[in-house]
Amino acid sequence: MIYLDYAATSPMTDAAVEAYSHAAKNMFGNTSSLHDAGGEAAYHLENARTIIADKLGVNRDGIVFTGSGTEGNILAILSLARAGKGKHIITSAAEHTSVHAAVNTLEREGYQITKLPFTQDGIIDLDLLEQSIREDTVLITIQHVNSEIGSIQPVEKIAQIARRHSIPYHVDCVQSFCKLPIEEFSKFVDAITISAHKVGGPKGCGAIYINPRRRITPVFPGVTHEKGVRGGTVDTPSIVAMAVAIEQFQYDVNYYWKLRLRLSKLIEDSHCTLIEAPKEDQLPSICGLCLNGLEGQFVMLKLNEESICISTGSACDINSASGTKAILAMGYSLTTARQFFRISFGPGTVEAQIEKLGEELMKISKDINM
């Protein structure tokens, strides 16, 4: 099997699996219990909190563990928005489904939502963002790296705009965490979402950072775990494994650019189009493509027959009939959006796999244009 769907999920590393197993056997106490078993679990929980805070470059008191990136986005957005006095939120039309789920929930509560389009380069227009701010704007939530095409948003500049207008800013960093230097802007934003399974950790585990100075309204008032932001006994083994994966994760940007450029070269005589941002605004390991004349799902199924795993976009949008949000936000037609498919690299990707992928894409392209 050739696995090229790392943007959807990555396999757990051996070290993370070992850490999970050890913690499950030996750190089973409830972290809120006052006996020694609880104290030991709490010690390792807080150590993991420190590791994640250091990686993000933020105050550890703002780290809250969640059950996923999806849950993290929803908790952060609802908690921040409901604590504000306004009823207007700015986001992008290409955010992860969980972000849209959160703002759509708020819309039903009377909030007004502005969903900004992307430029043709897959980037937010900063002038349009600033023009969209109103007196009652209570939150900006715009991602760091788009999960479908890999475009990198100008987060630091967005943060400057948000601070100039005294508006909280939440950033979905699920795709960029451990791959791009988040610490360059983390001190200037109010909330960050990350996930374990994108970097070799376990599924069902994530974290959010919420600036301790920011007032929030908890989604579930009265719970006691995780500073009252997220209730329930924490999953200590998963959190320990997440911290181990984070400490070990390596992202070789030059190697991934080499793979991306090789793929681009292999398909240049096909009917495939690479949907991408300018190089300085592009994460190389996420490749969004369209093959003219074929729906992305057909391409995915044909490659699956050759034991090549890709996707048609975010796994959370797999049942959507409208195609990918990112290229729709860039102004492409619905027909083109339905032709979209995504290839994403990870630590196990080697050049021979890209050669095989290119060969199979050329076969598919020739078959439909004979």
Task: Give the residue numbers marked as catalytic.
Answer: 316
Residue 204 C-alpha from the chain's centroid: 14
Which token pair is 32? 């809120």
Contact 355, 266 (CB under 8 A): yes
C-alpha span between 101 and 105 (Å, rounded): 6
Q: Give 297's contacts (C-beta < 8 A, 6+ positions apart).
A: 312, 341
Task: Of 101, 87, 75, 106, give the one whose Cα is nearest residue 170.
Answer: 75
Which pairing describes strands 308-309 and 286-291: parallel, antiparallel, or unpaired? unpaired
Q: Give 284's contacts (C-beta < 8 A, 6+ positions apart).
A: 150, 253, 256, 257, 259, 260, 345
Cα atoms in the Cβ-side hemisphere of radius 13 Å centred on 136: 10
Please give the radius of gyration of the chain, using alpha carbons only, rounded to the nearest integer.
Answer: 21
Task: Of 301, 280, 282, 281, give the one whose Cα is nearest residue 291.
Answer: 301
C-alpha span between 274 and 139 (Å, rounded): 33
Q: Which residues pair with 291 in a beta bridge?
A: 272
